[in-house]
Amino acid sequence: MDSWWDARKSLHWEQVQLELLREESQANAEHIDLVIETHEQTAIHLQAILSFATRKPFGEVSNFKNGLISSLIAWRTSEVTMGTLDALLASGDLGELSNPELRRSLTAWKALVLDGQEKENLARDFVEYVLTPALMDEEFIAAAYAARPPYGDIPEMVNRLVSVRSSAKLRSLSAARLGHVRMALVSQNMVRDALQDILLLIDTERAR
């Protein structure tokens, strides 16, 4: 009887943890989808700026929507929730989950998250400490800041036209900025794919 009761308690505990992990993972998957969407839109805008700075003679001026130009200095970092997973790791109870593949996937996923956040932080630091100071003498940079989300994300500010001058500096900085965004995008896609695998494993275990 004692053995039977212990097995029931263990099964109940695992089902509770799986439910908590599923809720946490689903919320994170939805959050990461939004982050990826933001990175993708930023990459499209940066490609347009880079194309302008590459194809047009230096010194030529063109008008762009403020919302597009603000992509030069707007950044987004992911903030996932790992309360349940961290508690299992800290207590050593992750090893009590019966599926070894799920245990490995959860541990690997946290490493992917940390790597992705590091790349996003590099993109953020490049904007704040390299790109913005380098472009501070350009007239459009103040307008771009005024339209930067979340505080400047209003239609009249986003759709306002600003004049941008083609230059070697704009070309090199927009290319570097695009590289950072694409690097962050690759990492977040890996995080999302890993989360989908985890959700499938959790659902499989819950159905047993």
| CB of 171 closer than 8 Å to CB of 50 | yes
**What is the rounded CA–CA span in Å between residue 120 and residue 117?**
5
> What pLDDT shows up at residue 114?
93
pLDDT for the residue 105: 96
Q: Break the chain into its structural domains and give their ranges.
A: 2-206
Rounded CA-CA distance 193/170 in Å is 34
- Count the alpha carbons within 13 Å of 101 in the hemisphere toward its beta carbon: 9
Residue pLDDT, tens place only, 6-17: 444 566 888 999
How far apart are alpha carbons 106 and 104 in whole angstroms? 6
Q: Does 1 have pLDDT greater than 70?
A: no
What lies within 8 Å, CB to CB, of 198 at 6+ separation is 21, 25, 102, 105, 106, 109
pLDDT at 146: 76
Query: pLDDT tens-digit profile of 28-74?
Result: 999 999 999 999 999 999 999 999 999 999 999 999 998 899 999 98
> pLDDT tens-digit profile of 140-195?
888 887 777 766 667 777 888 999 999 999 999 999 999 999 999 999 999 999 99
Q: How far apart are CA 176 and CA 127, in angstroms?
A: 10
Q: Which amino acid is at 45?
A: H
pTM of the shown model: 0.88
Write down the pLDDT at residue 4.
Answer: 43
Helix, strand, or coil here: 64? strand
Q: What value, to the nearest 5°, has the Cα angle with vertex 13 and ends 12 and 14?
A: 90
Q: What's the confidence (pLDDT) of residue 180?
A: 94
